Amino acid sequence: MKAKCSRCLSRARGQRSGLRVGALLLTGVVLFTLWGCGESEGDQEEAGGLKVPDYFPSLRIPEENPWTEPKAELGRGLFYDPRLSGNGTQSCASCHPQEMGFVDDLPRAVGSTGEVHPRRSMTLTNVGWAQSLNWANPLVTTLEQQALTPIFGDHPVELGMAGREEELLERLGAEEWYRDRFFRAFPDDEQPFTVANITSALASFQRTLISANSPYDRFIYHGESDALSESARRGMTLFFSERMECFHCHGGFNFSDSVDHAGQTFSGANFHVNGLYNIDGLGGYPPPNTGVHEVTGRIEDMGRFKAPTLRNVAVRAPYMHDGSVADLNEVIDHYAEGGRTILEGPNAGTGSMNPNKSIFVPGFLITEEERADLIEFLESLTDEEFLRNPALGPPADLPPFEFEEQ
Ligand code: HEC
Ligand code: HEC
């Protein structure tokens, strides 16, 4: 047997693995792959061989882009490659670095030309299950569609390849590394170097960004009773309590109600006003960050944002769509007050009085001990294996890129 990682070792101890092992022995075929641990006990296999833990629902993968390992491997190279930026200075990973849960630490993202994005970058933790992509855009529902914006968008400039599709395809086509991999990933295409194939590959890689081995998972799903401290367990009770209400929007396997998966019938994106602003007393948010309203123009969508997953939340400060909340203590102040109060400046207002605010952000009293417990619980959602798994990092043999002005 190959060396097993901790996730698989602990799974092997779980009760669920027995049946699965039996089935595998019966078929006589055990497939080891590079993805995850190279061990399939306790995982369910999606079409194409992507491993998903059996306590997560199946991914909904678009029919036009079935998942395959060669596509994901190509996508991994593209994700880490500065060839994707106009001036060769940035890759997707610049704003989505692995060790912070695939998000950077800037309050607002900065693109390859120095332009500041109105919003903060987002974690890509378990992004394959996101119901809609971006902070507040119900119209972007697939990773394939989303990837076009950072590469080719110019409001704001992120990677800055607008109008330079040919140049991008040439840069990639010049490398043996990519010629090999594009043909392997898209064997039916006579000419696989296309923008659609780039986004298909990026999406396939992003579907492998699966975080499911935090201390919380080990406690709940792997039966490791000592994985959570007493304090984290008390914090968990608070998180799921009707006093704090966190679970209403950050519930379920991914600690977010904005999830989609195979077999789910109702699929309307969920967005909420959590009371971060109330500039005009009518629920106003500072433009252009008006939430779903920015997309629909409907006043009732003012301030509605996606509730991000809280997996790996402790390593990805600062928080909220504009990075305006510095740390987890401030997050708790925000919810305890039932919305944030800003006393002066252009954004002054009493968030707790925001008329559009969700009924699940009522405010609550919290003792110092309870606050520490809640933070310890949020910290127990950090999955060290995910943050350090080399299979999700840059491919070691990716050819370096020397940018030349054309
Ligand atoms: C300049 C920094 C930057 C770069 C480079 C960048 N992103 Fe992002 N990413 C962001 C920001 C900012 C958002 C939030 C956008 C919004 O809501 O308007 C985001 C959001 C996302 C999301 C949505 C996540 C979710 O949970 O909804 C995905 C997926 C994503 N980026 C993937 C990528 C990929 C793939 C690339 C490379 C092709 C990339 N990003 C390059 C900054 C960046
Ligand atoms: C009504 C739904 C709702 C409830 C209840 C709720 N949240 Fe949130 N949460 C959100 C939304 C929406 C955002 C993003 C808001 C924004 O960026 O403007 C968010 C953001 C966060 C963030 C920042 C995440 C990031 O990636 O920046 C944290 C941390 C958080 N919530 C923790 C909690 C905790 C702890 C509780 C319970 C005390 C809670 N939430 C209750 C909807 C909710």
Q: What is the pLDDT of residues 298-357, one digit of tens each?
A: 999 999 999 999 999 999 999 999 999 999 999 999 999 999 999 999 999 999 999 999
Q: Which distant-in-sequence residues (6+ apart) come within 8 Å of 175 by Cβ? A: 399
C-alpha span between 378 and 255 (Å, rounded) = 10
Phi then psi for residue 291, to 5 deg, are: 75, -145
Return the pLDDT at 4: 36
pLDDT beyond 90 at 24: no
Beta bridge partners of 51: 45
How many angstroms separate the first and last alpha carbons of the chain?
Answer: 52
Return the pLDDT at 45: 81
Query: What ligand is nearest to the CA atom of residue 75?
Result: 1
Return the pLDDT at 266: 60
pLDDT beyond 60 at 29: no
pLDDT beyond 70 at 370: yes
**DSSP one-letter string for 347-383:** T-EEGGG-TT--TT-------HHHHHHHHHHHHTT--
pLDDT beyond 50 at 23: no
Q: What is the pLDDT of residues 217-269, one digit of tens each?
A: 999 999 999 999 999 999 999 999 999 999 999 999 999 999 988 877 665 67
C-alpha span between 102 and 99 (Å, rounded) = 7
Q: Which residue ranges form the domains of the chain, and what is each CATH number? A: 6-45 (no CATH), 69-209 (1.10.760.10), 215-386 (1.10.760.10)
Q: Which helix (H) or strand (E) holds 45?
A: strand 43-45
C-alpha span between 124 and 209 (Å, rounded) = 7
pLDDT beyond 80 at 17: no
Return the pLDDT at 41: 56
Q: What is the pLDDT of residues 141-164, one digit of tens each?
A: 999 999 999 999 999 999 999 999
Beta bridge partners of 319: 325
Which atom, in ligand 2's list, is nearest to the CA of 289? Answer: 18
**Considering only CA atoms, which residue is closest to atom 18 of ligand 1?**
134
Buried b (16+ CB within 10 A) or exposed e, 152-169: bbeebbbbbbeebeeebb
**Considering only CA atoms, which residue is closest to atom 35 of ligand 2?**
246
Tell the residue number behind the tokens 């692995």, with chain if given: 98
Instruction: Determine the longest span between alpha carbons in the chain, in angstroms.
Output: 69
**Top-confidence residue, 49 or 114:** 114
Ligand 2 centroid to residue 361 C-alpha, Å:
9
Ligand 1 centroid to residue 206 C-alpha, Å:
11
Q: Is 35 helix (H, G, I), strand (E, B) or coil?
A: coil
CB-CB contact of 4 with 37 (8 Å): yes
pLDDT beyond 60 at 172: yes
What's at 14, amino acid-wise? Answer: G
Q: Within 6 Å (CB) of ligand 1, which residues are found?
A: 84, 90, 92, 94-96, 109, 111, 117, 119, 121-122, 124, 127, 130, 133-135, 143, 146-147, 150-151, 158-159, 202, 206
**Ligand 1 pocket test: which of 90, 110, 122 has the largest number of ligand atoms within 8 Å of its C-beta?**
122
**Integer angstrom CA distances of residue 165 from 15, 86, 91, 374:** 51, 10, 16, 47
